Amino acid sequence: MSRRRIDQLISSTLPFLHDVAAKCEEILPHDSLPPSFYNTLEWAALVREILRSIEDQLKANSLDPNDSTILEALESTDEAVKDLSVMFRTVSEASEFERGARYEDFLRKPNSSAIETVLLQLLQGPHQLVKKSTIKATPDQYHQLEKAINDLGSLQSSLPTDKTAQMIHNGEGDIFSNASNGRQNINKGSGTQYNSDRMTWDSKPPP
């Protein structure tokens, strides 16, 4: 059953990756849009490579189809690419000079996320599978995933300042996130995440 579900998820995700790549090329140049729009083409291709590799490894019986981490990663990636597809289709409907404003309007809709947040979700699953050697990948693919995650982590969120901050926890260690307008708080760890508009810590004198 898990093998079938993995196949279904990959079959579901690949067409959306193709759609996102096509829309990304369609809206070139990206001058009025955040830098992450430009990087999406490369990162979508990278995720597509990883998914094809998972297919090949399943066929070669070199993966455990019952490994829950594979299923969880693919489900997260599938959700992210569908969100990206909606975002790119919305932006592509506007003229070249109106795309920036269309993107901002899109972000003001309920439950919408900035492109940086969605791209991070897209890449996190494959990155963790490769990093933990759950799946095989080339050194170049691993380095590309590492660089993409780090690049996204260093970017200022394009979320409008009147929306809640985006906070993402990915890896080991606790994260204490002081919420601020339009910021992403990303921790590559697996500890507890504490989010608040304001935080204080009580200090006790030594005994």
C-beta neighbour count of 154 within 10 angstroms:
10
Render pLDDT for 167-177 as a digit per residue (tens, 0 to 9): 455 555 544 44
Tell me which residue of 81, 62, 60 sits closest to 10, measured CA to CA. 81
Please give the pLDDT value at position 138: 97
AA letter at 192: T
Mean pLDDT over 4-24 rounds to 97
| Type of residue found at 207 | P
HSE-CB of 179 using CA atoms within 13 angstroms: 13
Q: The whole model's pTM is what?
A: 0.78
The answer to which of 63-72, 90-99, 191-200 has the lowest mean pLDDT is: 191-200
B/e letters for 45-61, b = 16+ CB within 10 Å, e = fewer, are ebbbbbbebbbeebeee
- Tens digits of per-residue pLDDT, 182-195? 445 555 555 545 44
Q: Say if CB 16 and CB 74 are below 8 A apart.
A: no
Q: pLDDT tens digit string along 94-153?
A: 999 999 999 999 999 999 999 999 999 999 999 999 999 999 999 999 999 999 999 998
pLDDT of residue 92: 95
Tell me the range of 22-31, 56-65, 152-161 where mean pLDDT is highest: 56-65
Query: Cβ contacts of residue 115 below 8 Å, gap of 6+?
Result: 34, 36, 37, 40, 84, 87, 103, 158
